[in-house]
């Protein structure tokens, strides 16, 4: 059993969570070109290494962020979205 530590509910079986994939920054829909918009829709971070991704604790419907290494599957940190500073 792999354990994911929810910032609100504490350590839980990862089966209680749903992955929503790496964080993506939405471009301005009015100003973005078709290429930028399709990139935003269809391309997720998949480079080997650490990604910041959305997770949901299903029973409590709480969404949060995790830093996870997608090669070793090590979860480095989980935190509330309020603490997230998107890369500029």
Is 38 a binding residue for another protein by CB under 8 A? The answer is yes
Is 32 a binding residue for another protein by CB under 8 A? The answer is no
SS (HEC) of 5-58: EECCCEEEEHHHEEEEEECCCCCCCCCCCHHHHHHHHHCCCCCCCEEEEEEEEC
Choose the stretch contacting another protein; rule: CB under 8 A; options: 24-32, 39-47, 56-64, 77-85. Answer: 39-47
Contact footprint for another protein (CB under 8 A): 1-2, 15, 18-19, 21-22, 34-35, 38, 41-44, 46-48, 51, 53, 70-73
């Amino acid at each position: 059993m792999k354990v994911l530590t929810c910032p609100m509910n504490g350590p839980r079986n990862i089966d209680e969570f749903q992955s929503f994939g790496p964080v993506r920054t939405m471009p301005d829909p009015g100003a973005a070109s078709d290429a930028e918009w399709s990139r935003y829709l269809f391309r997720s971070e998949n480079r080997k290494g650490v990604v910041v991704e959305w997770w949901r604790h299903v029973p409590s419907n709480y969404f949060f962020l995790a830093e996870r290494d997608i090669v070793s599957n090590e979860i480095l940190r989980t935190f509330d979205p309020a603490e997230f500073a998107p890369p500029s």
